[in-house]
Amino acid sequence: MRSFSLEGKACLVSGGSRGIGADVALALAEAGADIAILYRSRQEEADRIAGAVQALGRRACAIRQDVGETAALGATVDRVVDALGRLDILVNNAGIADLVPFSRVTEAVMERTLRVNVMGPFFLSQAAARHMLARGQGGRIINVTSTNGFVAEALLSPYNASKGAMEMVTKSLAIELGPHGITVNSVAPGLIETEIGMDFPLKPQFWDYAREHIPLGRLGKARDVGTAVVFLASEAGAYITGQHIIVDGGLLADQFPRMQFYTGPK
């Protein structure tokens, strides 16, 4: 469908070398967009995704940038515009999480989490919006948040706080940028099969327990998030701003899971 086409668009995806970010980058490229990937340390993986984008006939570049180094983000966005000629879509995907009890959270952990998960996306959005405003043709900013921005989880206090903050950042930017034709929305994944979640120090039984509490009965795929991002980035989502799409297989819809305990009508 033409309404989902991103032909001629240029996109920047932070944390695009692996996991959700990699699938987001590929989904956007398949829809027709040129892609710039920001990565922190995994150059080989970033180059592989950039190569896959190029194999689809799109332009691609991979730029090393820790989004927590906020002072450098303006110059990094300038490099993206130089490489792709424009910037139409920003996907703030890069993020970190530490599974740690509240009592053991240090100032360093809290500061790093908020810097990468909130300050980085905020100032990356600020730099991207400057280019979008200068061109005067609107744009899209899409924040990959989490179901943790709506319902908390134990052992993830800094992460929960950061994702809740990003939901309010999303709404705030939508209000200020809306008059300029720039929409700002979030995609909030639930339990997705990615490295950031699968490497947590949890007993193996947790994953069966998790699936029992997801109405669709499975963990999400990174691709499930990528297709939601394409929708919001395209003309099909042009009148949506300040909103969120929750991609969780129905997890948050089930307040008190009980289906496995149902004994039938009496």
Alpha helices in the chain, H assignment, sequence order:
19-30, 43-55, 73-84, 107-114, 120-135, 157-177, 195-198, 205-212, 222-233
Structure tokens at 180: 């300029």
* Look-up of token digits 């800094």: 158
In Å, what is the CA distance from 216 to each residue of 53, 225, 250?
31, 15, 7
163 is catalytic: yes
**For tokens 């061109």, what's the residue?**
135
Closest CA to 72 of 14, 144, 134: 14
DSSP assignment letter at 97:
-
End-to-end CA distance of the chain: 50
Question: Which residue of the set 9, 157, 162, 163 is catalytic?
Answer: 163
3 state DSSP class of 51:
helix
> What is the Cα–Cα distance from 152 to 130, expressed in whole angstroms?
34
Find out whether 58 and 84 touch, Cβ atoms under 8 Å: no
Helix axis angle, 222-233 to 19-30, nearest 10° = 50
Catalytically annotated residue among 14, 17, 146, 186? 146
Is 103 noted as a catalytic residue in this protein?
Answer: no
Q: Which of 17, 125, 159, 162 is catalytic?
A: 159
Active-site annotation holds for 9: no
Positions marked catalytic: 146, 159, 163
